[in-house]
Amino acid sequence: MAATIHDVAKLAGVNPSTVSRALSGKAVITEETREKIYAAMRELDYHPNSVARSLASGLSGAIGVVVDAQDADAFSNVFFSRSLFAIEKVAQSRGYHVIIANGAKRAGGASSIEGLMLERKVDGLILPPSTLKSALLEKIEGFPYVVLGQPDTARRGLSWVDVNNEQGGAMAVEHLRQMGYARIAYLGGGGRTGFVKRRVKGYLSALVRETEALVLPTDGTAEDARRAAHEALRAESRPDAFLCNDNLAAFGLLKAAKALGLRVPDELGVATFDNYPLAEFTDPPLTAVDVDTALLGEQTARLLFQKINRQTADQQVLLCTSLIERESSRRM
């Protein structure tokens, strides 16, 4: 027999009317009480009738996640899939579903963001920093939204969640220096987006002298990283270590090192951003700055629901990174 709202109320230790108010999204309820109700819903596998709820409350029962997809690969990378899974999990716990949209313009000139908002298809939006143009910000002012990633703009009144990429870059360089490496280069980062700039800034801040800096941008592919690394490693004063912008850059670097007969980590140290599954299965396994993209998605979604329920002011959240030390940088 399917669970009812009365079953949820009993398990959560509240009145059925409190459960109804929590599901409506309009009432002011403490976060502790709300979490008790959602936990009871999950335990009982209770799914509210979203159609009836939207008619009663005027809410859609959906949130929108906008991506800046230039090609099909944008939907298949690990960063996107882990973050989206966490967002979906938070939304489901609140009886919501997720609509994914591309930030590109639709036919007729309107963006998918404007369509989702103006047509009231969603109650809130999660946006990438690349969509934050002045014209759009004016149109969505007063509508609940959170930016997944630290914006480049200094505009006031923005809520965003990101990982501390600058901290991660500095941490990796300091580790490589402690392992005895002296000439540390930065490899990768096609497009020089905001998060790449902050990673490079962290790298630069940890160098003994900024004149030692060697930043090798690529087009974002492993092959271009291999080419750039191969050229740098053939130079007379070659780097003895690299901090890679991502796993693809690290894969290209390892291939270049192998072709030149350089042993990792004895003759070349390697560290990379993003502790994705393949990082520990390369030869040798990669030291990695762990960027918790699942936590990033979860925190972004939680902040969005607080804004939908008018429970919080604008917030800016930076999540700490950590370093996973593996054989690619352990000089004996």
pLDDT tens per residue across span 193-227:
889 999 999 999 999 776 789 999 999 899 999 99
Asked whether residue 32 falls in the same domain as residue 92, the answer is no
Range of the domain at 47: 5-57
Asked whether residue 288 falls in the same domain as residue 172, the answer is yes
169 touches 198 (CB < 8 A): yes
Q: How many domains does the chain have?
A: 3
How far is residue 143's CA from residue 157's CA, in Å, rounded to a whole number?
A: 12
pTM exceeds 0.85, yes or no: no
Asked whether residue 280 falls in the same domain as residue 312, the answer is no
Q: Is the pLDDT of residue 76 over 90?
A: no
Q: Which CATH number is 188's domain given?
A: 3.40.50.2300
Residue 69 has which token pair? 């997809």
Asked whether residue 34 falls in the same domain as residue 52, the answer is yes
Per-residue burial over 24-57, b = 16 or more CB atoms within 10 Å of its CB, e = otherwise: bbeeebeeebbebbbebbeebebebebeebbeeb
Asked whether residue 47 falls in the same domain as residue 90, the answer is no
In sequence order, the 6+-apart residues with CB closer than 8 A to the CB of 126 are 63, 64, 65, 66, 87, 145, 146, 147, 148, 300, 301, 304
Asked whether residue 125 falls in the same domain as residue 236, the answer is no
Residue with the two structure tokens 């929108």 = 64
What digits encode the pLDDT tens for the residues 124-165? Answer: 999 998 888 877 777 778 889 999 999 887 677 789 999 999
Asked whether residue 281 falls in the same domain as residue 243, the answer is yes
How far is residue 265's CA from residue 281's CA, in Å, rounded to a whole number?
A: 15
- Pairing label, strands 287-290, 322-324: antiparallel
In sequence order, the 6+-apart residues with CB closer than 8 A to the CB of 211 are none
